[in-house]
Amino acid sequence: MGRSTRKRSTLANRAIAASAALILGGGGLVGANYYASAGEGWGWTGQRPAQTTNAGQSMSTIDCPDVGNELPEVPEGVRRPVDRELATLDTQITTAYQRFAENKERIESDPAFGEQQILAPLRNERLVIIQRIVALIDREADRPQGLEAMAPCTLRADDDQNGDGQNGDGQDQGQDQGQDQGQDGGQDQGGDQGQDGGDQGGDQGGDQGGDQGGDQGNGGQAGNGPEASDFVDIQSVEPNVSTPRNRRGASRGTFTTDCGVNANGKFNPDNVIVAPGVSNGAHHMHDYVGNQANDAFASDDDLANGETTCRNQGDKSTYYWPVLRLQNGQDENDANADGGGNDQNVGEIQTPAQVTLNFVGSPVSRVTAMPRFLRIITGDAKAFVNGDANANASWSCTGFEDRQLKDKYPICPEGSQVVRTFKFQSCWDGQNTDSANHRTHVAFADENGGCQNGFRAIPQLVQRIVYDVPPPAFGGDNPSVFAVDSFPEQLHKPITDHGDFINVFDENLMNKVVSCINGGRRCR
């Protein structure tokens, strides 16, 4: 798909845009009514926090249990049809959210209307699909129990009725999350610049934030976010990055693959990992670098024979992530297309200024080769309603990468660029290239950097994407705000960011990757 006018932001715009931006302190988790994941088993109980919708209460989205998360084991023979049914559940939620958005004011004044016209039909539609999933699995394995209890959805109240984005324990929580993620880029680039900016950021937050919070509301031009409270001044966030120290036997090398920035504009709203064979399975647009054969219908053979944008032609892997848009009133070519405007993803798609793809080692052991066609998803595209258990992407600014945000977009000072970082799972079960929920065949290392439960250390993909975008400007004559594409009901929240990877290295190059990392060398 082609693009319209490219990003118009320049560093000189920052000072102008920042004057209209609501700058908030802290870096904490959004104060949301998350419900806990039900765990890995068939017996989901349907127990979620009670949510009472009162007349006049402001509602923000539809909140549905994620059936896919509750399917750690699905027989191989029915995985693809089960994935297609799960994609149908996503489409049902998208359609119901559109009805909700069109009738939001009426629903808030008359909750019974929301129940009768939105929730009840959605529950019935979901029940039919869930029963199909149960029947598919029942053909080849024990019949799953309790999935039907996941059919009902709720309407979710706005998390922050006052729009101030403040949350008592948020800053400490955000720092803890940042420490858990431990991005390598922060150690290399945080430095004194990040430390010196702390007081300045606090002053800016106080001077510019003011009393705007109550008036910002749902400021994104998509109509479903992001809000001013989704942004935070990076200079007001304390350094929060830590990484396990290398021990004897560590694999200290690095392999870097250069696959470009998607300057050729390969986009689609498919997800061949999660929704194979389903067009618009993601309901948001993806950037692709590396393999150019990737769409919903790509087989392993298609990927093996595809073209690649990677400089080293032995790397035909596919790397993809939700596009970042500037919601500035300017339409992209997909304004009337699935994954774009039809799914409430609007604005100009931003070409990254830089994409870095590094494979790094383990701080406690040597690494073993990844199997070809290994699939890894990091982060959770539905984390806003699922909760943050699988959220993993982080946000920061160049010069401040010792400060990582999980559930906020950063407001960067003049001269600094927005950074998205993904650290993929680095432990593999030694057998499977995928799993039913696309998670349990890989895992994150423990706090010391080791793999548990018999998993093996593999080269860890660390993906860093840099953008030159202006700070958010809500209201005024020239509003603009950047945000990732998302499922419509996820409201473009930063916590929903995620990355996808399919390994299509040839055998010789993968052996070189392992040798470089285990040998402590830096290779390309």
Question: Mind giving me the DSSP string for 381-421?
Answer: TTHHHH-STT---EEEETT-TTS-BSSSEEEPPTT--EEEE
Hey, CA dihedral for 197, 198, 201, 207, is it positive or negative?
Answer: negative
Instruction: Give Cβ neighbours of residue 439 (< 8 Å, ≥ 6 apart).
Output: 72, 377, 390
Q: Is 304 exposed, middle or buried (0-12, 13-18, 19+ CB in 10 A)?
A: middle
**pLDDT computed for residue 373 by the predictor:** 98
The structure's pTM equals: 0.82
Nearest to 421 by CA among 347, 352, 492: 352
The encoded tokens of residue 340 equal 């774009």
Contact in structure between 63 and 153 (CB atoms under 8 Å): yes
Q: Is 443 exposed, middle or buried (0-12, 13-18, 19+ CB in 10 A)?
A: middle
Please list the pLDDT of the chain residue by residue as tens digits (524 residues): 444 434 433 333 433 333 333 333 333 333 233 233 333 334 444 444 434 456 667 889 999 999 999 998 999 999 999 999 999 999 999 999 999 999 999 999 999 999 999 999 999 999 999 999 999 999 999 999 999 999 999 999 866 443 333 333 333 444 344 444 443 433 343 333 333 433 444 444 333 333 333 333 455 889 899 999 999 999 999 999 998 999 999 999 999 999 999 999 999 999 999 999 999 999 999 999 999 999 999 999 999 999 999 999 999 999 999 999 999 999 999 999 999 999 999 999 999 999 999 999 999 999 999 999 999 999 999 999 999 999 999 999 999 999 999 999 999 999 999 999 999 999 999 999 999 999 999 999 999 999 999 999 999 999 999 999 999 998 888 889 999 999 999 999 999 999 999 999 999 999 999 999 999 999 99
Nearest to 224 by CA among 122, 104, 123: 104
Question: What is Dmax (Cα atoms) for the chain?
Answer: 66
Identity of residue 467: Y
**pLDDT computed for residue 219 by the predictor:** 59
Helix axes 79-102, 120-138, angle to 10 degrees: 180
